[in-house]
Amino acid sequence: MTNSAIRVRGLRKAYAGVTAVSGLDLDVARGEVFALLGPNGAGKTTTVEILEGYRRRDAGEVSVLGSDPARPDAGWRARIGIVLQSSGGHDELSVQELVHHFAGYYPDARDPDEVIAAVGLDEKRATRARHLSGGQRRRLDVALGILGNPELLFLDEPTTGFDPEARREFWALITSLADGGTTIILTTHYLDEAEQLAGRVGVITGGRIVALDTPDRLGGRDHDHAVVRWSEDGLQRTERTATPTALVAQLAGRLGGEVPGLVVSRPTLEDVYLRLIGQPDHTLEVVS
């Protein structure tokens, strides 16, 4: 599959007899931004570590950029980039020193100064890593992850601890990388992040992919009933309906035009995700 960056068939992994990944299948196209979602213990981290070549599988077929990550060579390693959930070390080196140093590990590294500029750290070139803010340190992590000009980039919980402004800036950076053709595998607990960045989302639980689609269609989200809320006779009323426009028109006619407290909403990605992993749906029941 020449257009496939990742191809997985029947992936299995167990620890001391406890199954972590159970017959997982997955395809990710080149140039795609794919988000893998799942609760802790669902098999998400194990799957990603196998794809990165850091953990061996028990069974199954895995191809990443046309090679088996269980038998990587230096050339394959240089084609992928990894941004871990947490990083550390080299705190006494400046941004410029770190990026220039690590550029020497890659046979076809991007220009270090261009990478520093690309991640928005131009004004922090001379700043030691230990003096960077959380968001700036994450940008440095990304700089090191993309320094080798990778075809495939793994991002593990990339914006944990970010403030809202830093998250938005980081999203813009990742979007620019994707626009440049980099394939990106994203794991995150932030559902709005997955919806913003990913072209497709996979939900893993019990070691299997239980749903896979675009964020707006995941788990039949595009066909789910809308929830209409309004105030009437001093009470807050709620109704699920497949025809919200008709219901609102009916309410407007009954209530003389304006519908007090009117809110029309469809299930969010978070609502669908919680349903898929077996968490209860807390949406209000019909009370009209």
Boundary-marking domain end, from 192, 219, 246: 219
Q: Is the pLDDT of residue 2 over 90?
A: no
163-194 per-position pLDDT tens digit: 788 788 888 888 988 998 999 999 998 999 99
Asked whether residue 207 is assigned to any structural domain, the reply reads yes
Beta strands across the sheet bearing 235-241: 235-241, 226-232, 263-265
Asked whether residue 86 is assigned to any structural domain, the reply reads yes
Q: Is the pLDDT of residue 267 over 90?
A: no
Read off the pLDDT of each residue in 9-16 and give the average, rounded to a whole number: 96
Alpha carbon dihedral 158, 160, 166, 172, in 10-degree steps, equals 30
Say how far apart CA 103 and CA 170 lie, in whole Å: 22
**pLDDT of res. 135:** 80
Read off the pLDDT of each residue in 255-278 and give the average, rounded to a whole number: 91
**pLDDT of res. 273:** 92
Q: What is the CATH number of the domain that holds 211?
A: 3.40.50.300
87-129 per-position pLDDT tens digit: 666 889 999 999 999 999 888 899 999 999 888 899 999 999 9
186-229 per-position pLDDT tens digit: 999 899 999 999 999 999 999 999 999 999 999 888 888 889 99
Q: Please indicate, yes or no, whether residues 120 and 145 belong to a single structural domain of this protein.
A: yes
Asked whether residue 252 is assigned to any structural domain, the reply reads yes
Q: Please indicate, yes or no, whether residues 36 and 69 belong to a single structural domain of this protein.
A: yes
Say how far apart CA 203 and CA 61 lie, in whole Å: 20
Residue 285 CA: distances (Å) to CA of 220, 221, 227, 262, 281: 20, 18, 9, 16, 10
Q: Please indicate, yes or no, whether residues 162 and 229 belong to a single structural domain of this protein.
A: no
| Terminal Cα distance for the chain, rounded | 53
Please give the residue range of the domain that contains residue 214: 4-219
- By the 8 A CB rule, do 105 and 149 touch? no
- By the 8 A CB rule, do 276 and 203 touch? yes
Asked whether residue 136 is assigned to any structural domain, the reply reads yes
Kind and range of the H or E run holding 232: strand 226-232
Q: Please indicate, yes or no, whether residues 189 and 230 belong to a single structural domain of this protein.
A: no
- pTM (2 decimals)? 0.82
Q: Please indicate, yes or no, whether residues 69 and 117 belong to a single structural domain of this protein.
A: yes
**pLDDT of res. 139:** 85
The total number of structural domains that make up the chain: 2
- By the 8 A CB rule, do 98 and 116 touch? no
**pLDDT of res. 213:** 96
Asked whether residue 271 is assigned to any structural domain, the reply reads no
Q: Please indicate, yes or no, whether residues 164 and 46 belong to a single structural domain of this protein.
A: yes
Q: Please indicate, yes or no, whether residues 233 and 172 belong to a single structural domain of this protein.
A: no
Asked whether residue 61 is assigned to any structural domain, the reply reads yes
Residue 27 CA: distances (Å) to CA of 5, 38, 68, 160, 178: 8, 17, 14, 27, 17
Read off the pLDDT of each residue in 247-274 and give the average, rounded to a whole number: 92
Q: Please indicate, yes or no, whether residues 151 and 245 belong to a single structural domain of this protein.
A: no
Say how far apart CA 80 and CA 154 lie, in whole Å: 8
**pLDDT of res. 118:** 82
Q: Please indicate, yes or no, whether residues 125 and 231 belong to a single structural domain of this protein.
A: no
Q: Is the pLDDT of residue 78 over 80?
A: yes
Asked whether residue 287 is assigned to any structural domain, the reply reads no
Phi/psi for 229 (5° steps) reads -120, 140
Q: Please indicate, yes or no, whether residues 199 and 259 belong to a single structural domain of this protein.
A: no
Q: Please indicate, yes or no, whether residues 182 and 250 belong to a single structural domain of this protein.
A: no
More confident residue, 24 or 2: 24
Asked whether residue 198 is assigned to any structural domain, the reply reads yes
Q: Please indicate, yes or no, whether residues 140 and 207 belong to a single structural domain of this protein.
A: yes
**pLDDT of res. 179:** 92
**pLDDT of res. 264:** 92
